[in-house]
Structure 1
Amino acid sequence: MNTNRRAGLLRAWLRRLPVGAPTDDAGLKRVLGPASLMALGVGATIGAGLFSLTGIAAGSNAGPAVIISFALAAIACAFAGLCYGELAGMLPAAGSAYVYAYASLGELMGWIIGWDLVLEYTVGASAVSVSWARYMRSLLDEWGIHLSPRLMASPFEVVGMADGQPVHGLANLPAVFVIMALSLLLMRGISESARMNAIVVAIKLTVIVAVIACGLPYIRVENYTPFIPPNTGEFGHYGISGILRAAGTVFFAYLGFDAVSTVAQETRNPGRDMPIGLMGSLAICTVVYITFSFVLTGLVNYHDMIGDAAPVATAIDQTPFGWLKAAVKLGIICGFLSVILVLLLGQSRIFFAMARDGLLPPMFGRTHHNWGTPVACHLFFMAVTGVLAAFLPIEQLAHMTSIGTLLAFVIVCVGVMVLRVREPDRPRVFRVPGGMVIPVAGILSCLVMMVSLDALTWLRLVGWLVIGLVVYGIYGVRHSRLGKVMPAMRPKD
């Protein structure tokens, strides 16, 4: 590669979206207000991280101290959420951290974080759909409807024994079904999807209040001893390192903040409403998480939660409220729908924004003439997310999602710092208080949790980003809309 070629590539990688430029709505309808944004945030946030990963993180990593893990994750998320609020007011466009990185750090970093967000939302929706399928199976069993376990589990999961040999699942078909149904609803329109989300969020919060109220009298104090189990000698297996590993895992539970920011271009007043939606949903979810995990670990000993992806069903079995068991499971199943819905919504808007900027094929940047939704994006991710849900177990999916979320949050915090230096006089509807303190704290806290995740999770992330760089090198860098506007910055053959 000659000098001119290298210089051209470098200029292309560093070209930035102009901050404060008029936003092209591209057919998206501005219909969301602060209440809808908070409902989207709560809908995406309270789900698998609470109902499923609480048991996994408590049983395998932190014990009863998973309460501390949720608090640590909330603090890190608050730092990042404030940074999201500042950037959302400056850049009220679909795309979330992808747009923020593109405007502050350049096209290459924008592409990297956009590609990372695709992984985050796709894998996240898959993980929640797997958990939804497990609760659905439990409920159907109570009703006397027994489906083949092999059709409700991935090939990596053992569902029984036959002739002394383990029997593995074939594919998780219920998880695929729910992804298809919600994808079709999202294609129909954002207003219809927001109304359904509000209904299932109300059901979900009712279930949580019922579990807390009915479970409190039956807490066994001995289940909190030891509150921080001693480390077994392996990093992340109890002790302080276990709390950190669990915090990195349950950070998946705070995915809703990303999802809120992806719909800025469909918000009536994003500069004002985005910070309200982001921080309001964080406050609600943090109180719910800490209270709920306290009750859950008091009802069920953490040893009994190892590998249990449906710990709430196990906890209800410790109470005499037989009538509540089926109702709780049904409420949880309905609640999971809002999580999957918002994650599918978020990933389609990221892909849409990248295509709108020319970094992906133009078919993904078009909206339906009547529905005002990016139908091609929804169809594409319906297929990809469905395949992941059918063939991968929830534990691996959750870890992949957590590291993607943390990386996105780090980039957002860096973006705030960069724009504070590059454009200090740019009007900001909302400004993160304390100067650079909160962005730096957000970066450090997220990096600590990223380091606590296992090496295999890191390898998956690196592999995904390498694939993304190949796609960008082959297509994105040559078709960038910004490159066409600024031809001098385009790399030459």
Structure 2
Amino acid sequence: MPAPGSARGNGVLSKLLRRKTIIAREDQPQEQRLAATLSWPHLLALGVGAIVGTGILTLIGVGADRAGPAVLLSFAIAGAICACAALAYAEMATMMPASGSAYTYSYAVLGEVFAWVVGWSLILEYSLVVSTVAVGWSGYAAPLLLPLGFPEALTRGPELGGLVNVPAVFIIAVVAGLLMLGTRESARLNAVLVVVKIATLILFVAVTLPAFDAANLAPFMPFGFAKSVSPDGVERGVMAAAAIIFFAFYGFDAISTAAEETKRPERDLAIGIVGSMAACTLIYVVVAAAAIGALPFGRFADSPEPLALILREIGRAPVATVVAGAAVIALPTVLLAFLYGQSRIFLVMARDGFLPQGLARVSPVRKTPVRITLLTAALVAVIAGILPIDEIAALANAGTLIAFIAVGTCLIVLRRRAPDAPRPFRAPLGLLVGAGAVLGCAYLFLSLPAKTQGYFLLWNAIGLAIYLGYGVARSRVSSPASR
């Protein structure tokens, strides 16, 4: 869909606010054109695969530590805010079925400098998510490798006394290889693994429900609703937990990066985005309720594997082993979705001139962006294999919140600027949905730890310096052909 107008002029402000026209897939140069091979079941599985991962397997404990039994409310609030964002994404994605997600929508609606900030934030989000999940997968794989004589120094990065986290680099390489092999082939494997994950969570609920005790829900809100600092220095409250639990919900935005590779984007994108969000919200609330009801929250709040711990505590150790094993299966699907999404965002930024044009070429045989996928995999492999990420992983939340705020803003702006533009999917109560996404995500951003907010502002200050010194002069939007 063409952007409704373009910012023109030779002044600095006009350059910062220039908007680009969205080019249809069939109008892309042949060497940059992606193959449309995905349908709505692939997109639904991609979304569920991205959303259901480390979040539900580990963050129930973190959330319970900050909110107590009211973590159920934290899940519902985070899910409601994400639902507003998902509806906004669905409307934007069907109006502009092009790769790039929030970066592309911001470029077409808000202007180049806003698009850069969103794209720079998405780079942060996707890189940290992929790297963090790869390190988490390595934590499960290392105990299997060490008895075989694998050097312990090669199972963790320098910040933990090792040399390089080889298993983390390995799983990134495997997933990148699958993506380069073919989008549809990767989507099929992802769908199989998603079914295994959902079946495992259903098993957890079925086993723990008989142990449900309503007394474990009292007192329901021991730390209050708003974020506050407890005597031990930890930020607690329902909203503090929601800001952390938010990590467990996002991932549906990766679906919007698949727009150019979707057979019927005007229908399938909305099904994939809204459907995966609705399904995962239901799954999370049910699993959280079963967990809180089966065991007092204080007994699993600090556990890195709360679901498995709960099962062992209620005498179901064999099932706990199954759940722990499912974590190994769950993590690669998250890697696949986010590595896929980041490579597509990089692809569009290369098309726009912010990265070398040669990186935008796709394989003539597989019709996948091999070069950009290799670059993306190399970037996140360095982060996962060498750099310390434990304290900065929360930055992924900040990057995602900014992207969601931008998409909600785009929905509101286009409803005002172009109310009669074709909308294959029209979000119900659009202005309220957009406002809910903007205000809800802004509140969650303010609920993040102050250190996280500071790091995020520093990251974007660096990004703006790069844009002003490099990107603004190389933008292809300034050329007549791109208008």
TM-score by length of 1: 0.88
Q: How does 1:41-56 map to 2 (within 5 A)?
A: 41-56=47-62
Against the structure 1 CA distance between its residues 340 and 89, is the aligned structure 2 distance closer, same or farther, given a 3 Å change threshold? same
1:397-424 CA-to-partner distances (Å, cap 9, x unmatched) read: 4411111111100000001111122222
Which amino acid in 1 is paired with 2:327? I
CA drift at 1:151: 4.3
1:227-251 CA-to-partner distances (Å, cap 9, x unmatched) read: 2223699825599952111111111
8 A Cα contact 1:352 1:377, kept in partner: yes
| Residues in 1 aligned to 2:267 and 2:308: alpha-carbon distance in whole angstroms | 40
Against the structure 1 CA distance between its residues 40 and 55, is the aligned structure 2 distance closer, same or farther, given a 3 Å change threshold? same
Secondary structure of the equivalent of 2:455? helix
Percent of residue pairs bearing the same amino acid type: 39
CA drift at 1:296: 2.3
Q: Which residue of 2 aligns with 1:473?
A: 468
CA drift at 1:103: 0.5
CA drift at 1:29: 0.6
Against the structure 1 CA distance between its residues 231 and 435, is the aligned structure 2 distance closer, same or farther, given a 3 Å change threshold? closer
1:434-483 CA-to-partner distances (Å, cap 9, x unmatched) read: 24111112111111110000111112211221222222223321221211
Secondary structure of the equivalent of 1:466? helix
1:329-387 CA-to-partner distances (Å, cap 9, x unmatched) read: 22221121111110000000001011111122113211122121222222222222122
Q: Which residue of 2 aligns with 1:227?
A: 220
| Residues in 1 aligned to 2:186 and 2:25: alpha-carbon distance in whole angstroms | 27
| Residues in 1 aligned to 2:224 and 2:375: alpha-carbon distance in whole angstroms | 44
Q: 1:436 aligns with which of 428, 431, 442?
A: 431
> Which range moves more in the overlay, 430-439 or 19-28?
19-28
CA drift at 1:33: 0.8
Q: How does 1:180-195 map to 2 (within 5 A)?
A: 180-195=173-188
Secondary structure of the equivalent of 1:430? coil
Secondary structure of the equivalent of 1:317? helix
Q: 2:33 aligns with which of 8, 15, 27?
A: 27
Q: Which residue of 2 aligns with 1:160?
A: none
8 A Cα contact 1:131 1:310, kept in partner: no
Against the structure 1 CA distance between its residues 96 and 144, is the aligned structure 2 distance closer, same or farther, given a 3 Å change threshold? same
Q: 2:207 aligns with which of 214, 220, 235?
A: 214
8 A Cα contact 2:54 2:327, kept in partner: no
> Which range moves more in the overlay, 244-253 or 320-329?
320-329
Against the structure 1 CA distance between its residues 188 and 233, is the aligned structure 2 distance closer, same or farther, given a 3 Å change threshold? closer
1:291-318 CA-to-partner distances (Å, cap 9, x unmatched) read: 1112223344433445432222222212
Secondary structure of the equivalent of 2:394? helix
Q: Which residue of 2 aligns with 1:114?
A: 119
Q: Which residue of 1 aligns with 2:350?
A: 355
> Which range moves more in the overlay, 100-109 or 241-250?
241-250
Q: How does 1:444-483 map to 2 (within 5 A)?
A: 444-483=439-478
Q: Are 2:375 and 1:380 aligned? A: yes
Q: 2:88 aligns with which of 72, 83, 86?
A: 83
CA drift at 1:155: 4.5
Q: Which residue of 1 aligns with 2:6?
A: none
8 A Cα contact 1:236 1:244, kept in partner: no
| Residues in 2 aligned to 1:458 and 1:190: alpha-carbon distance in whole angstroms | 35
| Residues in 2 aligned to 1:144 and 1:226: alpha-carbon distance in whole angstroms | 45
For structure 2, the 5+ residue unaligned runs are: 1-8
| Residues in 2 aligned to 1:77 and 1:475: alpha-carbon distance in whole angstroms | 34
Q: Which residue of 1 aligns with 2:105?
A: 100
| Residues in 1 aligned to 2:226 and 2:119: alpha-carbon distance in whole angstroms | 38
TM-score by length of 2: 0.90
Q: Are 2:253 and 1:258 aligned? A: yes
Which amino acid in 2 is paired with 1:191? R
8 A Cα contact 1:300 1:314, kept in partner: no
Which amino acid in 2 is paired with 1:80? A
| Residues in 2 aligned to 1:337 and 1:10: alpha-carbon distance in whole angstroms | 43
Against the structure 1 CA distance between its residues 273 and 261, is the aligned structure 2 distance closer, same or farther, given a 3 Å change threshold? same
CA drift at 1:45: 0.4
Q: Which residue of 1 aligns with 2:327?
A: 332
8 A Cα contact 2:157 2:388, kept in partner: yes
> Which range moves more in the overlay, 420-429 or 78-87?
420-429
Secondary structure of the equivalent of 1:436? helix
Q: How does 1:59-70 map to 2 (within 5 A)?
A: 59=65, 61-70=66-75
Against the structure 1 CA distance between its residues 407 and 284, is the aligned structure 2 distance closer, same or farther, given a 3 Å change threshold? same
| Residues in 1 aligned to 2:261 and 2:381: alpha-carbon distance in whole angstroms | 26
| Residues in 1 aligned to 2:151 and 2:183: alpha-carbon distance in whole angstroms | 35
Which amino acid in 1 is paired with 2:95? M
For structure 1, the 5+ residue unaligned runs are: 1-5, 158-167
1:176-200 CA-to-partner distances (Å, cap 9, x unmatched) read: 2211211111111101110110111
CA drift at 1:147: 6.4
| Residues in 1 aligned to 2:280 and 2:373: alpha-carbon distance in whole angstroms | 27
> Which range moves more in the overlay, 310-319 or 476-485?
310-319
Q: What RMSD, in angstroms, separates the aligned Cα atoms of the two structures?
A: 2.7
8 A Cα contact 1:69 1:247, kept in partner: yes
> Which range moves more in the overlay, 464-473 or 293-302?
293-302
Matched length? 470
Q: How does 1:346-425 map to 2 (within 5 A)?
A: 346-391=341-386, 395-425=390-420
Against the structure 1 CA distance between its residues 393 and 68, is the aligned structure 2 distance closer, same or farther, given a 3 Å change threshold? farther
Q: Which residue of 1 aligns with 2:170?
A: 177
| Residues in 1 aligned to 2:447 and 2:162: alpha-carbon distance in whole angstroms | 31
| Residues in 1 aligned to 2:158 and 2:238: alpha-carbon distance in whole angstroms | 30
CA drift at 1:87: 0.8
1:80-130 CA-to-partner distances (Å, cap 9, x unmatched) read: 111111111111000000010001001111111011111111111112222
8 A Cα contact 2:350 2:359, kept in partner: yes
> Which range moves more in the overlay, 112-121 or 421-430?
421-430
| Residues in 1 aligned to 2:269 and 2:225: alpha-carbon distance in whole angstroms | 44
Against the structure 1 CA distance between its residues 359 and 234, is the aligned structure 2 distance closer, same or farther, given a 3 Å change threshold? closer
Q: Are 2:141 and 1:136 aligned? A: yes
Q: 1:12 aligns with which of 15, 21, 26?
A: 15
| Residues in 1 aligned to 2:151 and 2:337: alpha-carbon distance in whole angstroms | 29
> Which range moves more in the overlay, 246-255 or 301-310?
301-310
Against the structure 1 CA distance between its residues 229 and 315, is the aligned structure 2 distance closer, same or farther, given a 3 Å change threshold? same
Q: Are 2:45 and 1:39 aligned? A: yes
CA drift at 1:148: 6.3
| Residues in 2 aligned to 1:310 and 1:124: alpha-carbon distance in whole angstroms | 18
Secondary structure of the equivalent of 2:280? helix
